[in-house]
Amino acid sequence: MYLKHLKIANFKNISSFDEEFMSINCFVGNNGVGKTNILDAIHYLGFCKSYFGHSDFDSIKQGEEFFMISGDCQTKDSFESYSCHLQQGSKKIFRHSGKAYTKHSEHIGKLPEVMITPNDHVLIEGNSEIRRKFIDMVISQYDKLYLKTLIQYNKSLVQRNKILKDHKSGKFFDSLMLQITDEQMDSYSKIIQQKRREFFSDFAKPFSEYYQLIGTDNESVSIEYKTYEGSLVDILANNREKDLIIGHTSSGIHRDDLLFYLNGNPIKVFGSQGQQKTYLLALKLAQFDHLCGKLKTKPILMIDDIFDKLDFRRVNLLISLIAKEHFGQIFITDTHSERIESLIGEELKDKTRIFKL
């Protein structure tokens, strides 16, 4: 996958951006000039939303009425164009070669991406929802059934929670609809659970190998997929009284979590800052390899301002992988042009474009 051209208007703090890209693209400038926002605009083209969880309307530049992002992409077999437009007070419109999608989910996976940012520490320190989003973001890029089933499950969950809230507030209680919703959630969750288990079965080996490569040989890493066991219909029935009292659904795949371990201990508690950074970098690099294998193409890799956060050895590892063309197209941000030019060196100079913002 190759993003040849990107055009941005009124996105966050970017009034206008209209540029062609090469294999390696570096955005250099002081903090606050919009480097990360350019990467986030590329993320919008892949996922129809911000990487950082910002609402769509918050992404419109202050004082403006709309934002627009468009990109021209080259694949192995074709040339594609994608665009995203949002007007104040209107719905977001996403287009493929000028034709609007009926559902944004139809687009996911057409522009595969992996993003590495300093904010990734929330995968370890944050709540389970953040870790579930990590799984969902990876699998949804190559498995349409997974994405479709996940959307259906979430719709059923919303419906079930409404029934529970209505009961709690003294409104009509539809016990038959609650039973139907329980059965729907059970059916959807079986598919989602199975695909998440398959993902971790494939993901474990490259993740461990990357940690050994950039960490130390005498440390072992693992990820445990924590989910419920048994029939969800039975679990929901057993917890029904509790759910009616609290007004929401307390069990299901929307409560799944990932447990990150280093040498058999939770890395959140026992891992040093350096070990956690290594763990996160290994996660993202394994994500890249996993998507390569599933999609048979190299995703776009975006590296946002992490060179200040990594030691010299880890930075050099990344650059050596780039030099070996392990990755496809890459977008990098940094605050120091001299550092970028030094890291890129003569070997990659002809493949690189540096944007000084």
Ranges of residues in the chain with a pLDDT under 70 are: none
pLDDT of residue 18: 97
| Alpha-carbon gap, residue 269 to 188, rounded angstroms | 34
Residue 296: Cβ-neighbour burial (10 angstroms; 0-12, 13-18, 19+): exposed
| Alpha-carbon gap, residue 122 to 57, rounded angstroms | 24
Instruction: With beta carbons less than 8 A apart as the criterion, state whether 67 and 15 touch.
Output: no
| Count of other CB atoms within 10 angstroms of residue 33 | 17
Strand partners, 174: none
In the chain, domain spans? 1-112+300-357, 121-296
Instruction: Name the 3-class secondary structure at 113.
Output: strand
Instruction: With beta carbons less than 8 A apart as the criterion, state whether 132 and 223 touch.
Output: no
- The fold for domain 121-296 equals Glutathione S-transferase Yfyf (Class Pi); Chain A, domain 2 (1.20.1050)
Stretch (H or E) spanning 93: strand 93-96
- The fold for domain 1-112+300-357 equals Rossmann fold (3.40.50)
| Alpha-carbon gap, residue 172 to 333, rounded angstroms | 55
pLDDT of residue 326: 81
Annotate 18-32 with b (16+ C-beta within 10 A) or e (fewer). Answer: eeebebbbbbbbeee
Which of 31, 65, 25 lies closest to 300 in space, CA to CA? 25
Give residues with Cβ within 8 angstroms of 174, minimum separation 6: 163, 166
Stretch (H or E) spanning 203: helix 175-214
Look over the chain and give the mean of its residue pLDDT values, rounded to a whole number: 91
Backbone angles phi, psi at 305, to 5 degrees: 50, 45
* Number of helical (H) and strand (E) elements in the chain, helices listed first: 11, 14
